[in-house]
Chain A
Amino acid sequence: MTSPCRDNFRVKGYRFGEGEKTLAIVGAMRGDEVQQQYICSQLVNRLTMLEQRGGIAEGKSILIIPSCNPFSMNVNRRFWAMDNTDINRMFPGYDQGETTQRIASAVFSALNGFEYGIQLASYYVPGDFIPHVRMLQTGYEDVETARLFGMKYVTTYQPRPFDTTLLNYNWQLWSTKAFSVYAGQTDRIDLNTSGETIDAIFRMMTRTGIINYGSLGAAYESICIDEASLQHIKARHAGIFYRLVDAGSRVASGESLAHIIDPYNGQILSDIKATAEGTVFFAHHRPVVFQNALLFMIHVI
């Protein structure tokens, strides 16, 4: 696509193997999804070497699109810079529609028809997650394949009206087994969580017979949960947020999770405590919080 005064807009894909459309992987859909872009670049790098060694299974092909939105990343904007629309809320797209609908349409036509689809996603609420595989409950979700990633958690959730324009919702409706992989971070590269995520995707590709790869690394026996079962902990006060535990921490009932501090006099306004034993699934990460903001999601044991 041409631009009024910038370079042409390009979405690049990398193909590995030949044969049936087996797996498509999408990285950054938004301009701040640097961790997602980095993971895809590493996947391309490793698959290039694997293909040279004959490691892609015969009759299988893989497509990787590291970025659907290089324009926004180049100017440090999360959404499409001209009109602030979100490409990931435009699927399946419309080739006669608005700009981001057309981008979504072009991307979807390249992604449609694959047996498996992986999107490296970010969440609409700011915070840190345990790396996990997430699926919408559309009736087409494939929990058993999601377990093959060997990540700590596999979650499902009931779609809301605003979810019906996501890539993965539409992928599922068009018969692709779609998985959102949350790699812990969004706007910064974390080598630990990105490494875990790359290993998990290689594990899934190996276990589904897409690649022949020797070392799978240590895997988890995934816990599968409906997100509605997660316990939400909210801020009773606004103020400076001082977090004491991270995503992934095991916490005991009564343990302090965070303090909310008066921004003027330094007094502790609120000592946020766990009300049950569990694992911190999500943790807010901004240094200040609004009253009633979602601070933690806990998987209660």
Chain B
Amino acid sequence: MMKTIVSTELPIDEQFRIRKNVIQNGRNDGLRFCVVTGTHGDELEGQMVCYELAHIVSERISSLDGTLEIYPALNPLGIDTIQRGIPNFDLDMNRIFPGDPQGTMAEQTAHAIIEDIKGADMVIDIHSSNLYLRETPQVRINVQDSKWLVPFAERLGMDFVWVHGAATVLEATLAHSLNATGTPCLVVEMGVGQRINHKMCRRLVEGILHLMQTMGMWKESPKDRLPQPLVCEGDRVTFLNAETSGVFLTELKCGINVSRGQTIGQIVDPLRGRVLSTVSSPVDGYLFTIRAYPIVYEGSLMARIFNTEEA
């Protein structure tokens, strides 16, 4: 059943709508599981995950015991205009939660989204990096919520769980705002902006169904054994930022182990045919982020490595 949670007029003969698909079977008072995505309009992996989930669960509805709610597009105008943010609005949508019913249209929308989702028994907020970085399938959890949420994250079948530090500015994310109300929300990052990696999406679909199964909402077991993720806690992520501006060239993909001193890539000068900087791993670890967009300025993030030396 389709439901509209936000409906507002646009200037010229168009309705702005945020919709969800509510799929229910079994107990009316059963658990409620939400899958949300499309906060950033350039992140598209969640579109395929939503499609696959809606398709599979609708086809095998008898296996569902509870309610699955799918929100494919929290920022429909961003998706339509290939923009990360909301058109004509300065702030990142994932920095204005829990919103404000008296604020701008974006803040009112954020408020309506929170009001609709809160109270769910589980929320999966799917992101897919941006145009610049490629991410291995991972769950990100604020350190304040780690004890509560890591056990859920370990059942999603992702490669990596990153428990990151708290920051005031991150208190305005959808996930933080939901977690603060007692609604568990896991943030998934994978792939790269503006593209869809089918294999990663199918893995996440399997992971979501597995999590639903362990919560007693899905009666089928996964076909294959799901991998156990590496869990990174305690400030053990090394960031590699560009020392100089140029063109970053790499042969590596993310999701691999690297050793101390191993070359990650090079920053080159196409005009003079020179290598400006060789980027090496300063630690033994697990490379879970690698730059996808090759033009870099000083400071541009090129890679993130989970430091396993002290493990």
Q: How far is the CA of A1 from the CA of B50 in the complex (A)?
A: 43
Q: A78 — nearest CB in chain B belongs to which residue? A: B90
A contacts with B: majority SS: loop
Q: 1/0 contact trace for A1-37 toward B, CB 8 Å? A: 1111100000000000000000000000000000000
Q: A263 — nearest CB in chain B belongs to which residue? A: B12
B272-311 interface with A by 8 A CB criterion? 295-301
A148-172 interface with B by 8 A CB criterion? 160-162, 164-165
For residue B245, CB closer than 8 A to chain A, the reply is yes
Q: How far is the CA of A240 from the CA of B9 in the complex (A)?
A: 12
Q: Is the CB of B172 within 8 A of A98?
A: no
CB neighbours of B102 from chain A (8 A) = 232
For residue B8, CB closer than 8 A to chain A, the reply is yes
Q: Is the CB of A98 within 8 A of B88?
A: no
| Interface 9-mer from A49-57, A136-144, A251-259, A288-296 | A288-296
| Most A-side CB within 10 Å, residue of B88, B247, B297 | B297
For residue B105, CB closer than 8 A to chain A, the reply is yes
Given contacts A4-B295, A288-B12, contact A161 B169 (CB under 8 A): yes
Given contacts A83-B132, A263-B12, A288-B11, contact A98 B104 (CB under 8 A): no
Q: Interface range on chain B: under 10, 10 to 19, 20 to 34, or 35 or more?
A: 35 or more
Q: Is the CB of A164 within 8 A of B104?
A: no
Q: Is the CB of A161 within 8 A of B171?
A: yes
Q: Is the CB of A294 within 8 A of B104?
A: yes
Q: Is the CB of B108 within 8 A of A292?
A: yes
B298 partner, pick from A2, A161, A290, A292, beta carbons under 8 A: A2
B9 partner, pick from A98, A100, A165, A238, beta carbons under 8 A: A238
Q: 1/0 contact trace for B83-111 toward A, CB 8 Å? A: 01100111100011000001111001000
Size of chain A's interface in residues, with CB distance under 8 A?
41
A3 partner, pick from B103, B130, B169, B245, beta carbons under 8 A: B245
Q: How far is the CA of A2 from the CA of B277 in the complex (A)?
A: 13
Q: Is the CB of B245 within 8 A of A1?
A: yes
Q: Is the CB of B298 within 8 A of A99?
A: yes
B299 partner, pick from A101, A126, A161, beta carbons under 8 A: A101
B90 partner, pick from A124, A240, A288, beta carbons under 8 A: A124
Q: How far is the CA of A236 from the CA of B91 in the complex (A)?
A: 23
CB neighbours of B12 from chain A (8 A) = 263, 288
For residue A132, CB closer than 8 A to chain B, the reply is no
Q: How far is the CA of A45 from the CA of B9 in the complex (A)?
A: 48
For residue B207, CB closer than 8 A to chain A, the reply is no
Q: How far is the CA of A4 from the CA of B268 in the complex (A)?
A: 9
Q: A100 — nearest CB in chain B belongs to which residue? A: B299
Q: A286 — nearest CB in chain B belongs to which residue? A: B88
Given contacts A1-B297, A82-B297, A102-B298, contact A162 B13 (CB under 8 A): no
Q: How far is the CA of A260 from the CA of B309 in the complex (A)?
A: 64
Q: How far is the CA of A237 from the CA of B105 in the complex (A)?
A: 13
Q: Is the CB of A162 within 8 A of B11?
A: no
Q: How far is the CA of A96 from the CA of B246 in the complex (A)?
A: 17
Nearest Cβ distance between residue B285 and chain A, in whole angstroms? 18
For residue B10, CB closer than 8 A to chain A, the reply is yes
For residue B168, CB closer than 8 A to chain A, the reply is yes
Q: A98 — nearest CB in chain B belongs to which residue? A: B299
Q: Which residues of B line the A interface, CB within 8 A?
A: 8-13, 16, 84-85, 88-91, 95-96, 102-105, 108, 130, 132, 168-172, 239, 241, 244-247, 271, 295-301
- Interface CB pairs A-B, < 8 A, 5: A1-B298, A4-B247, A124-B91, A232-B102, A291-B10
Using A99-B299, A240-B11 as known contacts, list a sample of 11 further A-B pairs with CB atoms less than 8 Å apart, ordered by residue number in A. Answer: A1-B245, A3-B297, A4-B247, A97-B299, A98-B301, A101-B299, A102-B298, A162-B96, A238-B10, A290-B105, A292-B8
Q: Which 5 A-B pairs have the closest CB atoms?
A: A238-B9, A288-B11, A291-B9, A124-B90, A99-B299
